[in-house]
Amino acid sequence: MAIFFDESKKIFKLDTSSTTYAFAVHEGGYMFHLYYGAYLPDNNLLPLLYRGGFCSFHPNYPQYINNEISPDITPSEYSCYGTGDFRLSALQIKNADGNISTDIRYVSHRILKDKPALTGLPSLRSDTGDSETLEVTARDNATGAVVKLYYTVYLNLPVMTRSVIVENTSENAMDLERVFSTCLELPTMDYDMVHLYGQWFKERTVTERPLAHGIQTVASKRGSSSHNHNPFVALKQHGTTEENGSVYGINLIYSGNFSIDIEVDGRNTTRLIAGINPTDFTWHLEPGESFVSPEAVMVYTDKGIGEMSRIFHRTYMKHLIKSPWRDIERPVLINSWEAAYFDFDDDKLVEFAHEAAKMGVDMLVMDDGWFGVRNLDNCSLGDWYVNEKKLKGGLGKLIERVNAEGLKFGIWYEPEMISPDSDLYRAHPDWCLHVPGRDNSPARLQYVLDMSREDVRDNIFNQMYEVLANNKIDYVKWDFNRNLTEVGSALLPANRQKEIMHRFVLGTYDLMNRFVTAFPNILFENCSGGGGRFDAGMLYYSPQIWCSDNTDPIERLTIQFGTSMCYPVSTFGAHVSANSRASIQTRANVAMCGTFGYELDPRKLTDEEKALVREQIKDYRKYSKFVREGDLYRLIAPTDDPFRCAWQFVSPDKKETMVTSVIMRRPETAFYVLRLRGLDPNTLYKDSDTGEVYSGALLMNAGINLTDKVYNDGDSIVKYFTAE
């Protein structure tokens, strides 16, 4: 049994394969957090509650007459606002009289042998027998709010999930003003906060800093998870490395406004909450209505931040991504965007296909510019009908011609957007997000459709369905090229306008779910100006996401290393492009750490380059399975070494490994020894290039000497070993 309740001590103990999470129910129904960390065989944890004496400024719990426990210093299992806990609040409810004091007490619990799905939201899945779920029902007696806390633990992974459902059981309306998905208490501040920041063209750079007294936050209020911050944070104990040390990882399965807040109080204790950003959020609950929070995924390991990443990778590959493409080789595609931008017609695309086919490419993707009257980015979004002046034989004829060259066919969409210069906008100007009396702020010459509206979603679905159902399309690139402004809906009343940010995300999920259900064999790739919506919510519907519009391989090193902190390599949309300071071979070696494809005009390649592409695609087919299914080891981070970067894939059975190193700039010395990781020390491994045989122990402890030439800027090395 993974979840255990000690009736005498009123302690819940939740065990995964190597971790324990525990909290207690005390007199009066208060729920106090006890422990989260490495596995514990016992549950004698109540002494951990005491955090020293307190003064008159610390309020008492009404049920307690002693001065040992105060809501202001005691570790809360799910913190509430306004009743004595002055630290970060996970829950805040405004009741019918306008009061916002919130206080939930334990009522009952159930232990479930299955993991319930979250209505309208993506979440981790479970297979029969591999997880258990604890449902704790609590109640705020003053407001009639019933709060259900959900905890799922996985038996074979050190992973747990948290989510919350709030139901209004009273006779009066109430407003949720804060409803975070998880609250975690830690007894010290001895941690470095690791998170991923960036901007367009420079997403998910790893940064870290020691926790400080006060509040530190990673958040988005842009309507999407954004280029700027990712809904992921790790707390690693000081001194923790890739290979050793304690680390907690938290990731939200959510694609909208989020906030991960960490507060260190005057007693040097730490509280973390993660969930929907309360800025611009209020959810109105009429009697009988309920609200479901997004799911938070929590990982703990004492084996370093690299192992934390691998746990996330294994979890998402097994329990999050549900596309049939998760487990099969992805097609090598060539995308028309950097090759042609808007300047293409059917003949040019067929020429691309003809040349690409000779090199072994599997699929041609027609990017932006095929619909409406779109020849620039200033019109036609929302008009999803074929521009037959550009595709003169129609879409079906073009696909026939591309298929005749031996290639599959993919297409680009931006379903959540609308151009002011479009038939759809002229017919339905109220269908975009807008605020009465204010001008809309265009970005990229486009507005955002009100995805909270079912009629809007139906229109887009019907238009796209007509194209996808009547043409042989194997791939869809789903783009999202601006953030949300003037967030108002023509259909919602005034007291529900602050629900729109979240309703927008729910509407997008609904539309995506309709498409993946209707077309289960289409490969969907998400995109948002590159990696502006690279999050676990999107991965639930699409098994890969375009990692960044920046395809320069040296820049991609930082982007891909950062993305790998939480997300599997098989989800990284990564292509070889034409414009780069590095050789085409290095571009391919970096793109191999991803889905692999091309973003260039194949007609312009030299014969030598075409021969290299043929070999690159052969290598991709050779290595793709164990890159997709294997473990990633970040050997040298591009932010830790001014000259070199290196990473390694190890197959699940440890019988093969591939090591890649990129020379970002010429080092001051040619001497270079690289130590590998993750191998069986007692297994012998053969170097496929030289035929030399080394023990795993030697490769990991002494390393492999790569001092065989003078490396120049942009060079790269790939070594492949197989067990003897």
CB 89 within 8 A of CB 79: yes
Q: Please classify residue 409 by burial: count the beta carbons closer than 10 Å to its beta carbon, then call 0-12 exposed, 13-18 middle and 19+ buried.
A: buried
d(CA 34, CA 237): 19
Pairing of strands 247-253, 295-301: antiparallel
Terminal Cα-to-Cα distance of the chain (whole angstroms): 41
Beta-carbon-side half-sphere exposure of residue 37 (alpha carbons within 13 Å): 16
- Say how far apart CA 380 and CA 362 lie, in whole Å: 29
Give Cβ neighbours of residue 73 (< 8 Å, ≥ 6 apart): 51, 52, 54, 58, 265, 267, 269
| Cα gap 678→657, rounded to integer Å | 9
* Residues 123/163, Cβ–Cβ less than 8 Å: yes
Dist CA 392 CA 406 (whole Å): 21
Quick one: tokens of 304? 């370093």
One of 15, 261, 368, 479 is an active-site residue; which one?
479
* CA distance linking residue 114 with residue 607, whole number of Å: 57
The residues near 547 (Cβ < 8 Å, ≥ 6 apart) are 203, 530, 531, 534, 556, 559, 560, 563, 572, 573, 574, 594
Cα 37 from Cα 57, distance rounded (Å): 32
Among residues 700, 579, 564, the alpha carbon closest in space to that of 639 is found at 564
Residues 467-502, buried b or exposed e (16+ Cβ, 10 A)? bbeebebbbbbbbbbbbbbebebeebeeebbbbbbb
CA gap 15, 159 in Å, rounded: 9
Beta strands (DSSP E) in 327-396 are 333-335, 363-366
Q: Mind giving me the DSSP string for 58-113? A: SPPPTT--SSS--TTTS-BSS-BSSSS--S--SEEEE-TTS------EEEEEEEES
Phi, psi of 492 (to 5 degrees): -85, 145
Q: What's the CA angle centered on 611, arms 647 and 342, to 5 degrees?
A: 85
Of residues 85, 474, 549, 601, which has the active-site annotation? 549
Cβ contact 643:666 at 8 Å: yes
Q: What SS3 class is residue 617?
A: helix
CA 336, 345, 482, 273 dihedral sign is negative
For residue 110, the cross-strand partners are 135
Q: What residue spans of 276-345 are helical by DSSP H? A: 305-319, 337-340
> What is the four-CA torsion angle of 77, 83, 89, 93, rounded to 10 degrees?
110
The SS3 assignment for 181 reads: strand
Answer for the pair 546, 525: CB distance below 8 angstroms, yes or no: yes
- Give residue 721's Cα distance to chain centre: 31
Residue pair 256/223 in contact by the 8 Å Cβ criterion: yes
Q: Can 549 be counted among the known catalytic residues?
A: yes
Q: Tell me the C-alpha distance between 37 and 231, whole Å.
A: 22
**Tokens of residue 525, six digits:** 């790739």
* C-alpha torsion sign, points 501, 502, 506, 512: positive
Query: Is 706:638 a contact under the CB 8 Å cutoff?
Result: no
Question: What are the tokens at 485?
Answer: 């402004």
Which residues are part of the catalytic machinery? 479, 549
